[in-house]
Structure 1
Amino acid sequence: MAADAVVIGSGPNGLVAANILADAGWEVVVLEAEPSPGGAARTAEITLPGFRHDLYSAFHPLAAASPALAGLDLGAHGLRWRHAPEVLAHVLPDDRAALLSRDLDRTAESVDRFAPGDGAAWRAEHDRYRAIRDDLLAALLRPFPPVRAGIGLLRTLGVGDALRAARMATMPVRRFGEETFDGEGARILLAGNAMHTDLGPNQAGSAVFGWLLAMLGQDVGFPVPEGGAGAITAALVSRLHARGGRVLCGRAVTKVLVARGRAVGVSTSDGEQVRAERAVLADVPAPALYLDLVSADLLPARLLEDVRRFDWDDATIKLDWALSGPIPWRAEEARLAGTVHLGVDLDGLVRADADLGQARVPGEPFLLLGQMTTADPSRSPAGTESAWLYSHVPRGGDWTDERLRGWTDRVEGIIERHAPGFRDLIAGRVISGPRDLQRGNRSLVDGAVNAGTAGIHQQLVFRPGPGLARADTVVERLFLAGASAHPGGGVHGAPGANAARAALAASGWYGPVYRAGMRRIHRVLHG
């Protein structure tokens, strides 16, 4: 078998890359190890018939705002977005709740209840976001350095405010919240959103993640695909098929074939070799690519050393429930929200992060819960709720079935305190520990859902290791297209899009110059 490009892995990044190459007229084949495509964007009935559960990624603000996905017009292939009545509620231990709504007035009113004047401050942050939205997203999601988007940001902000924005990008979210707002409501919305990564409130760089997710929630909400996250995969596969591309499942790639310093194809677990005439794109974690799929004698020692230091994010435990009715929250805001944060206040977030930093299971865990039927009625029978929850735990723990059940009982007790009667609604439940998540998707190594830490030591030119934050690798015609590449995790397709564009550049009319430049740069970086 042969194609212009072989894509390893059919997660959103691999499928985005395949679509962009197919648009350029390339013949593309995608090889997927699992029985079905999708990576972290898959949906199945795992509790009871009629209850559809997103196995991994569920809410998709980055997908809704992503330039890479917008350019593919997936609506023409069946993708439909749905929204809960409200975006997010953070329920505090005393059952007060801060609300993030797509209605700016409602968000402002909510944070104003915690401290008069915070509503106006929130509006000012949203105005700042709207002024730089397009350039900001391009700067974050395009290859580094983002020259055009950077010029646009500088033109809009001016030198002074650009420097202030750069300062904010390095700040802990707790400090940013204290400088910007007086009350706990707005501060907890920012800090809780930062905890979608592995960055705690006092860690450098957490402010930009919390602020961006909060502003995206204000702007596009936390939408869900109608029918489940698998609808994103189905639309990408449908689009690719319409352009002649192929997706072959149950084909685990075991080796990238290299000849004269160039990737020329792959071998699969059944012994087949698939030739790649122009490029191999790997939608796999960087350690899997460099330590498992490419022969070590083809790689610089410094590169291998860097990859062995790759820093994963925290492990994860996930619960999925089939509920016989909506969760009876005491806080009215939580009844309307698709996403609910609970378990701790801002000081509690700090304690939970400190526990994780010392390899302890948090005594007071931060819980992130999704009410999927609230957001999309097609997820379960009328009058019921398909819900899930995840929380971070230290990496490397021995999560036996008994230990997972004990953790689950404690977590469900926390929900019960905020929603009396919750336990009586549980009709079905699935517990997924870190090893279970990795078994279902081998890219979620030990339950790391963000494909590597969001810490600033592994972002931009440090992702996945010291380099260019580009998809090009030291092996010509081999490109890293997975979420461990810049700009990182999330269903936005940017790593795949960046890899596809790099492959097109390397094979274009100026390809010899491009490839020569990459060779020189890699020699400088890796020796």
Structure 2
Amino acid sequence: MTDVTDVTVDDVRTTNATADAVVIGAGPNGLVAAAMLADAGWDVCVLEAADEVGGAVKSQELQPGYVTDLYSAFYPMAAASPYIRALALEDHGLTWRHAPAVLAHPSGPDADAAAVLYRDPHRTADGLDRDHPGDGRAWLDLLAQWQRIREPFLHLLFSPFPPVRGTVGLLRAVGTRDALRLARTLMLPVARLGTELFGGRHGPLLLTGNAMHADVPVVAPGSGAFGWLMSMLAQDVGFPVPEGGAGRLAAALLRRAESAGAQVVTGCQVEGVEVRGGRAVGVRLAGGGRLRARRAVLADVAAPTLYRSLLPADAVPRRLLEEIDGLFTADLPTVKVNWAVRGRVPWQVPGLAEAGTLHVGADNGQLALWSAALSTGQPSDITFQLMGQLAVADPTRAPEGHETLWAYSHLPRGNPDAGAAERLAERMEETVERHAPGFRDLIGTRLRQLPQDLEADDANLLDGAINGGTAQLFQQLVFRPTPGLGRPETPVAGLYLASAGAHPGGGVHGGPGGIAATAVLHGAALAGSGARALARTTRWLAG
């Protein structure tokens, strides 16, 4: 058996090599896990089917000088993540850029005003006070609470189950009584949370628009948690973008993993995980090669792909297969449109021109109707979309005075009709035109990404779903990806789920990869302690 560090990339694809840990997939989670394991001195090999790393962190020129992000784009979770921060990616070529305003949300389809969240919290509060006296103070109070609990809350969010240390830290920060109030807040529907905290329109609009970065309906319990978290991160770390394109973030993660000693092989398709005696011992590659794993296999792939496609059927408990088929719920299919714009977008509503992220097409009541229609598969004439003005945030994304714009929206689950996706893309462009008359005359290049295109480009984006599974409460925490699998360990010893299908779920923050690597290292430490104890006992028995 040849050690992976002694062979070429072509050898890895075609021969029997070995490594301490094999990571399937070079998305952000896979690269975070690889870097952490390599930092611990492990021999790590990452195998990526695509020709470049990054997964859903990738950029592309629409036309010369106009750079769009094909999937994810703005990264508050990455900026706040303890796993990403610990990697010091700024030392590996990453530069964050910020728009003058973090985000803006017009107060209705024909509104003449918008809720605007600025980097300066007092400026945000001033705008909320103009909408409704007292709402600015309510915003600053909410931010003060966040600042008190920020570190223990993030530790809790990004900890493996059971999150004992994070829970204890949070209780120390807020006290038991306030912790119960916080728990109630996080359980609320965002529609209810907004009316409890604010008296005007714009405060609830900030919370509700931010909640729509996940697929939890406005009136569903738990949607308030997403609205609160994303709003507080927006005010705390902003919604930064990597200078030059999302691909620069992926490149920095690659350089960081390789600098620690990990080997990353692209264009290398894994066809299956090999299991012997109930333990993962390596992977089988397209072309007949095998890569053995001495200690662990980590899978940065969609949960259904791991359990249904990569593992032998007899290695997975029948009940788990039934739950993957019957209980696992994908998030909503996504339709994305990218535009190269000659000039700036001619927004009519003040505040939109200076915001990097936009929430456009629906007010609070319409968002409730829109999200309910999506969840129930009913038609809706409301077209809500999340948008990004990349050159506002990062002037390198377009020629001076011009813009690279994108928008995405969703279809109901189980809608295979390509025509429906095309019609949604058309309505999305009409929505921009309604808020910015003359926009269509400025379009230089248009790139539409329908659900089938997203999956074709990245096999983890099943049916165009970008979150690794629904973010609703019934599939979070210990229920992700199915009940009882709230940790990265799988029923196969030595095999770990390290993708957005595992806790804490979707978003570019490295959480699933970091938690999986932590579990691998902890398991190895426990095994080492057991081996040392056995050796001591053996020596004692031998006299």
Q: Which has the higher mean CA deviation after the structures are superposed, 243-252 or 501-510?
A: 501-510
Aligned partner letter, 2:505: G
How big is the shift at 1:405? 4.2
Match for 2:278 among 261, 280, 295? 261
> 1:420-431 alignment to 2 at 5 Å?
420-431=437-448
**Local SS of the residue matching 1:281:** strand
**Local SS of the residue matching 2:321:** helix
- Cα deviations by residue, 1:258-285 (Å, 9 ceiling, x for unpaired): 1111111000122111111111000001
Task: Indicate whether 1:348 and 2:366 are aligned.
Answer: yes
**Local SS of the residue matching 2:388:** strand
Aligned partner letter, 1:111: L
Residues 37 and 517 in structure 2, CA contact (< 8 A), matched pair in contact too: yes
How big is the shift at 1:511? 5.1
Distance of 1:240 and 1:404 partners within structure 2: 38
Match for 2:72 among 50, 54, 57? 57
Match for 1:240 among 245, 257, 267? 257
- Cα deviations by residue, 1:338-382 (Å, 9 ceiling, x for unpaired): 001110110100110121122135311211110001100111111
Residues 411 and 421 in structure 2, CA contact (< 8 A), matched pair in contact too: no
Aligned partner letter, 1:351: L
Residues 35 and 258 in structure 2, CA contact (< 8 A), matched pair in contact too: no
Aligned to 2:127: 110
**Local SS of the residue matching 2:374:** helix
Aligned to 1:378: 396
Aligned to 1:40: 56
Give the alignment's TM-score, normalised by structure 1: 0.95
How big is the shift at 1:468? 4.8
Distance of 2:166 and 2:376 partners within structure 1: 39
Match for 2:334 among 307, 311, 316? 316
Residues 190 and 225 in structure 2, CA contact (< 8 A), matched pair in contact too: yes
How big is the shift at 1:513? 5.9
Match for 1:82 among 73, 97, 101? 97
Residues 95 and 418 in structure 1, CA contact (< 8 A), matched pair in contact too: no
How big is the shift at 1:399? 3.8
Aligned to 2:231: 214
Task: Indicate whether 1:365 and 2:383 are aligned.
Answer: yes
- Cα deviations by residue, 1:450-473 (Å, 9 ceiling, x for unpaired): 111111111111011111521111
> 1:448-487 alignment to 2 at 5 Å?
448-487=465-504
Aligned partner letter, 2:80: A
Q: Which has the higher mean CA deviation after the structures are superposed, 360-369 or 474-483?
A: 360-369
Task: Indicate whether 1:506 and 2:523 are aligned.
Answer: yes
- Cα deviations by residue, 1:30-89 (Å, 9 ceiling, x for unpaired): 1111111110111111x2122111110000000000000111111110011000000000
Task: Indicate whether 1:274 and 2:274 are aligned.
Answer: no
Aligned to 2:117: 100
Task: Indicate whether 1:72 and 2:87 are aligned.
Answer: yes
Aligned to 1:153: 170
Give the alignment's TM-score, normalised by structure 2: 0.92
**Local SS of the residue matching 2:474:** helix
Aligned partner letter, 2:436: A
Distance of 1:508 and 1:409 partners within structure 2: 55
Aligned partner letter, 1:30: V
How big is the shift at 1:509? 4.6
Distance of 2:222 and 2:290 partners within structure 1: 43
Aligned to 1:24: 40
Distance of 1:398 and 1:27 partners within structure 2: 43
Residues 113 and 350 in structure 2, CA contact (< 8 A), matched pair in contact too: no
Q: Which has the higher mean CA deviation after the structures are superposed, 404-413 or 275-284?
A: 404-413
Aligned to 2:10: none
Residues 152 and 173 in structure 2, CA contact (< 8 A), matched pair in contact too: no
% of aligned pairs identical?
Answer: 52
How big is the shift at 1:404? 4.2
Match for 1:119 among 117, 120, 136? 136
Distance of 2:412 and 2:102 partners within structure 1: 28
How big is the shift at 1:254? 1.0
Alignment RMSD (CA, Å): 1.3
Aligned to 2:433: 416
Residues 421 and 451 in structure 2, CA contact (< 8 A), matched pair in contact too: no
Runs of 4 or more above 6 Å deviation:
none
**Local SS of the residue matching 2:351:** helix
How many pairs does the alignment contain? 512
**Local SS of the residue matching 1:36:** coil
- Cα deviations by residue, 1:383-411 (Å, 9 ceiling, x for unpaired): 211110000111232343x5544333322
Aligned to 2:539: none
Structure with larger Rg: 2
5+ residue gaps, structure 1: 515-527
Residues 322 and 427 in structure 1, CA contact (< 8 A), matched pair in contact too: yes
Task: Indicate whether 1:393 and 2:411 are aligned.
Answer: yes
Aligned partner letter, 1:159: T
**Local SS of the residue matching 1:280:** strand
Residues 1:34 and 1:314: Cα distance change in structure 2 (over 3 Å): same
Residues 404 and 431 in structure 1, CA contact (< 8 A), matched pair in contact too: no
**Local SS of the residue matching 1:339:** strand
> 1:155-194 alignment to 2 at 5 Å?
155-194=172-211
Residues 112 and 350 in structure 2, CA contact (< 8 A), matched pair in contact too: no
Residues 315 and 448 in structure 1, CA contact (< 8 A), matched pair in contact too: yes
Residues 18 and 245 in structure 1, CA contact (< 8 A), matched pair in contact too: yes
Distance of 1:186 and 1:157 partners within structure 2: 24
**Local SS of the residue matching 2:352:** helix
**Local SS of the residue matching 1:87:** strand
- Cα deviations by residue, 1:402-454 (Å, 9 ceiling, x for unpaired): 55443333222221121111111100001111111111111111111111111
Distance of 2:309 and 2:35 partners within structure 1: 26
Distance of 1:33 and 1:84 partners within structure 2: 34
Aligned partner letter, 1:323: V
Aligned to 1:15: 31
Aligned to 1:443: 460
Aligned to 1:491: 508
Task: Indicate whether 1:292 and 2:309 are aligned.
Answer: yes
